[in-house]
Amino acid sequence: MTADVVVVGAGTMGAWTALWARRSGRDVTLLDAYGPGDPRATSGGESRIIRASHGKDVFYTRWSRRARALWQQASEEWGEPLFQQAGCLWFAGRPDGFEADSEATLRAEGIPVERLTPAEVGARWPHIAADDTAFAIFEPEAGLLLARRAVAAVARALSAEGGRFELATARPGSREGRTLRSVTTAEGGAIAGETFVFACGPWLPRLFPEVLGDLIRVTKQDVFFFGPPAADSRFEASSTPCFVDYDAAMYGVPAVDGRGLKAAPDRYGPVFDPSRGDRLIDPESARLARAFVGRRFPDLAGQPIVETRVCQYETTPDTNFVIDRHPDFDNVWLVGGGSGHGFKHGPVIGRYVVDRLDGAPLGEGEERFGLDRPRISQAGVRTGGDSIARHWQGY
């Protein structure tokens, strides 16, 4: 049997691509080596922030709003609370930085946003300290996505709508000229297809090193959960928003499902093997996270780290995604380079990929996804400040 579309990788990009392809009437097979939401996957873990602030970049601001609507629609359709509107609070260390640019973009787009003084932050959230900031902006319609649950729900929806999911480790198989005919599995099988989409997250540059080896870097990223005091519900999503401190390169999510408040350094970690790397946090990352949480959430200063996670980023130099046809194949598409901000865009990325399969031309701003365009190191798409440029200079 030959599928119309074979998608390799069941993270947010691959799973949504498979679902939209099925909804377009195609016969679809989705493959993943470990399963949707597995701890090795970048789309694993408990939560991700969904926010519209992207500095001056209106393109991702609009994509994130479309994605938010699609996540909400999916939650209602499937009866699963995948999105929680907790809001997102951005701490501005200076008057003219990323937060001010984001505020201007959000207002121009008609997206709700509030500018708050440090005193107003303290009055609204007494357990949050912002005295050392210039101001804060608050996106009331932002929030968090339940990542592991969400990708599993998309994969289940694919199966329910007539697509196929298979647990398999796949790599390019037989070819004829510029046409890939199949992928082969580690178990020795072959899966034939008309079109192939490789959305393998941190495994993508390993499958196509000649194309992506210098374009996508995979780094280890540590995540921490801080346990609140006993009988203290202030750090749950009903009372604490998601938060980002751009200049400090830190972000976090309120407590979900009985876990503690999530906080993570957004600096790049060391190069990481997603298959074999031990998921053990670095003590320096723990020190940074604890210092930040103690400063922003003083009542958590003496509280324990109750859980840790290790995930990874797959980052391009300019933090724009890779969504393009493989230069050596007419029927192979490469989709990845989430760069620490890709999860929330999953439903829009999937629809965009299927539109391109249908022959849609590039729209305004979409040339940024191309394999053959210059990729200049820049900050502004995600948190991390100038660590992006240092990372790509081998710092």
Beta pairing class for 190-198 and 242-245: unpaired
User: What confidence score (pLDDT) does residue 377 get?
Assistant: 78
Q: Please, are residues 11 and 332 in contact by the beta-carbon 8 Å criterion?
A: no
Q: Please, are residues 223 and 309 in contact by the beta-carbon 8 Å criterion?
A: yes
H-helix or E-strand containing 103? helix 98-108
Amino acid present at 57? D
Q: Please, are residues 6 and 181 in contact by the beta-carbon 8 Å criterion?
A: no
CA distances 106 to 51, 120, 274, Å, are: 11, 20, 36
**Nearest of 266, 239, 237, 230 to residue 254 by alpha carbon:** 237
Q: Please, are residues 18 and 5 in contact by the beta-carbon 8 Å criterion?
A: yes
CA distances 70 to 77, 88, 139, 195, 253, Å, are: 10, 19, 18, 25, 21
Q: Please, are residues 37 and 15 in contact by the beta-carbon 8 Å criterion?
A: no
Total residues found in the chain within this entry: 395
Q: Give the model confidence (pLDDT) of 248-302 as tens digits.
A: 999 999 999 889 999 999 999 999 999 999 999 999 999 999 999 999 999 999 9
CATH class (in words) of the domain with range 2-392 = alpha beta
Read off the tokens for 161.
């709508």
User: What confidence score (pLDDT) does residue 380 get?
Assistant: 46
Q: Give the model confidence (pLDDT) of 125-156 as tens digits.
A: 999 999 999 999 999 999 999 999 999 999 99
Give CA–CA dist 50/34, Å, rounded. Answer: 25
Residue 55, Ramachandran bin (φ over 0: left; ψ between -120 and 50: alpha; else beta)? left
Torsion of CA 254, 260, 261, 262, to 10 degrees: -100
Q: What parts of the chain have a pLDDT lower than 70?
A: 378-395
Q: DSSP strand E in 246-304: where?
A: 250-253, 261-265
Give CA–CA dist 178/171, Å, rounded. Answer: 16
Phi/psi for 223 (5° steps) reads -130, 140
Burial of 162 (0-12, 13-18, 19+ CB in 10 A): exposed
Read off the tokens for 377.
């190191």
Q: Write out the DSSP string of 44-99.
A: -SS-EEE----TT-HHHHHHHHHHHHHHHHHHHHHT---EE---EEEEESSTTSHH
Give CA–CA dist 44/33, Å, rounded. Answer: 13
Phi/psi for 270 (5° steps) reads -70, 160
> Which residues in 124-147 are b (16+ Cβ under 10 Å) and which e?
ebebbbbeebbbbbbbebbbbbbb
pTM of the model: 0.95
- Sequence-distant (6+) residues with CB within 8 A of 19 are 154, 157, 158, 161, 163, 350
Give CA–CA dist 392/395, Å, rounded. Answer: 7
Amino acid present at 269? G
Distance of CA 237 to the CA centre of its chain: 20
